[in-house]
């Protein structure tokens, strides 16, 4: 029996259009991805993550003066630093807490220290979004240091968001290729239309809740292995395969056992995800620089077999981790890194939702009982 007001349910809301949006366009057949009308391929070649943040928040490319002021705000110690009480709170967490859980907890706690937490005006939401974009890298890096028994590294306002994050993780200034690769990864993960985490963030925002709450919803949804968590699973697979020569036999066996192979397939793309080629190239360059391309070779072999046998293609999560690993980033930090970038998309969607809001409240196709009789507990 269906509700009189509703159409039959569509599993996973596949192809259901829930709203208009001016932020992101995906052509799943041609493998094209645009932010505010700009092809990500061009943004990767010509832009920076900071400029993409401006583009997504304000809907246009900045003038030189606007970009300078924006970069200054994103890089400022005032915006990047964490409240000391928050660092003290992190130290209380068990060291084995997964970084994605620490990020979810830390972002929620950051709202308690935010001077505009209760203000949902566009201006305050923009300010909070800027602060979150600047603070989240510090939070992720601080936890990495704390769990290793080290002192968190203070942010360096002279470094780009990408360079500063890598610096705060290791305490050493990163090389140019690592910084460039990380910047490109941030550009490529910044937004992706109504993906699961962005939808979660928009549902939260549509109740007129605040941007911190929406970002916490987004982090919770991103964490799962069918979404952002897939990048960690890809690296765990690479570690199981161990060496390029064993990759083909391993993946053929996995496919024969009907395994779901992480880093492949997509709800929207019917071809290779346009972001994968950039991450593949950069992971290979980083591997060559470090003198070890095993991970990329393993993934290439897996991709060749899976694409040929299953006709499903690499998504954004397939090659990202190989590059991060070469930069010395632990596998369980890959999904938090995704969030450092996607926070920008979540915030842009919160701004858009608040700008023309209507509560998001779909229906369920009820398939349960209609005439259940209550039996007293003594008679059950």
Catalytic residue positions, numbered: 227, 266, 317
d(CA 290, CA 337): 21
Give me the least distance between CB of 266 and ligand ACO, in Å please.
Answer: 5
The yes or no reply on residue 235 touching ligand ACO (CB under 6 A) is no
Q: Is there a contact between 192 and 80 (Cβ–Cβ < 8 Å)?
A: no
Assign 70 to helix, strand or coil. Answer: helix
For ligand ACO, the closer of residues 99 and 321 by Cβ is 321
Among 206, 241, 261, 344, interactor with ligand ACO by CB under 6 A:
261
Question: Is position 117 an interface residue for ligand ACO (rule: CB under 6 A)?
Answer: no
Interface with ligand ACO (CB under 6 A), residue from 312, 330, 332, 360:
312
Task: Choose, by CB under 6 A, the member of 206, 262, 279, 351 that binds ligand ACO.
Answer: 262
Q: Closest distance between ligand ACO and the C-beta of residue 228, in Å?
A: 5
- Residue from the set 152, 163, 228, 323 that interacts with ligand ACO by CB under 6 A: 228
Q: How far is CA 236 from CA 22, 161, 332, in A?
A: 37, 27, 10
What is the smallest separation between the CB atom of 312 and ligand ACO, expressed in angstroms? 5
Number of Cβ within 10 Å of residue 294's Cβ equals 16
Report, in Å, the least distance between residue 38 CB and ligand ACO: 20
Measure the CA–CA gap between 85 and 249, rounded to whole angstroms: 51
Q: Give the residue from 238, 248, 226, 241 showing the smallest Cα distance to 335.
A: 226
- Of 161 and 305, which has the nearer Cβ to ligand ACO? 305
Residue ranges in the chain assigned as alpha helix (H): 40-46, 49-58, 64-75, 77-80, 84-92, 99-113, 122-147, 161-170, 176-189, 196-205, 211-222, 230-241, 247-256, 276-290, 294-310, 317-326, 334-355
Instruction: Verify binding: residue 31, ligand ACO, rule CB under 6 A.
Output: no
For 75, the token pair is: 């890089």
Q: Could you say which DSSP state residue 34 is in?
A: E
Closest distance of CB 218 from ligand ACO, Å: 12
Site size toward ligand ACO, by CB under 6 A: 19
Q: Is 12 in the site for ligand ACO (CB under 6 A)?
A: yes
Interacting positions 263-302 with ligand ACO (CB under 6 A): 263-267
Show the 3-state SS of 147-165: HCCCCCCCCCCCCCHHHHH
Of the CA atoms within 13 Å of residue 97, those in its CB half-sphere come to 21
316 binds ligand ACO (CB under 6 A): yes
Nearest distance in Å: CB 12, ligand ACO: 5
The interface region with ligand ACO, picked from 59-67, 104-112, 163-171, 314-322 by CB under 6 A, is: 314-322
CB nearer ligand ACO, residue 130 or residue 251: 251
Q: Under the rule (CB under 6 A), what is the footprint of ligand ACO?
A: 12, 195, 226-228, 230, 260-267, 310, 312, 315-317
């Amino acid at each position: 029996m269906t509700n009189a007001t509703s159409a039959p349910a569509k599993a996973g809301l596949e192809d259901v259009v829930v709203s208009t949006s001016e932020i992101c366009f995906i052509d799943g057949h041609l493998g094209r991805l645009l932010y505010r009308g700009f092809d990500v391929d061009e943004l990767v070649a010509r832009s920076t993550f900071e400029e993409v943040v401006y583009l997504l928040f304000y809907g246009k490319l900045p003038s030189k003066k606007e970009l300078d002021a924006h970069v200054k705000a994103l890089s400022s110690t005032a915006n990047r630093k964490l409240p000391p009480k928050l660092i003290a709170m992190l130290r209380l967490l068990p060291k084995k807490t997964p970084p994605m859980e620490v990020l979810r907890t830390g972002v929620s706690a950051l709202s308690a220290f935010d001077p505009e937490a209760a203000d949902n005006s566009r201006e305050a939401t923009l300010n909070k979004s800027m602060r979150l974009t600047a603070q989240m890298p510090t939070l992720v890096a601080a936890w990495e240091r704390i769990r290793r028994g080290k002192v968190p590294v203070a942010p360096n306002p002279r470094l780009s968001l990408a360079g500063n994050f890598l610096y705060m993780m290791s305490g050493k200034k990163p090389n140019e290729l690592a910084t460039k690769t990380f910047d490109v990864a941030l550009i490529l993960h910044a937004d992706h239309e109504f993906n699961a985490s962005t939808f979660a963030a928009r549902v939260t925002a549509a109740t007129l809740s605040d941007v911190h709450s929406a970002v916490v919803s987004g982090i919770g949804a991103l964490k799962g292995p069918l979404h952002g968590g897939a990048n960690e699973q890809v690296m765990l697979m690479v570690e199981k395969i161990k060496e390029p020569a064993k990759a083909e036999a391993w993946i053929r066996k996995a496919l024969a056992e009907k395994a779901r192979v992480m880093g492949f397939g997509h709800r929207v793309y019917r071809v290779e995800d346009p972001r994968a080629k950039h991450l593949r190239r950069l992971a290979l360059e980083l591997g060559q620089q470090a003198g070890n391309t095993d991970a990329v070779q393993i993934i290439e072999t897996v991709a060749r077999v899976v694409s040929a046998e299953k006709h499903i293609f690499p998504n954004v999560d397939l090659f990202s981790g190989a590059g991060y690993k070469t930069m010395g980033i632990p596998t369980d930090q890959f999904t938090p890194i995704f969030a450092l970038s996607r926070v920008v998309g979540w915030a842009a969607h919160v701004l858009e939702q608040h700008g023309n809001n209507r509560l998001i409240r779909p229906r369920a196709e009820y398939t349960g009982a209609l005439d259940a009789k209550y039996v007293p507990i003594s008679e059950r």
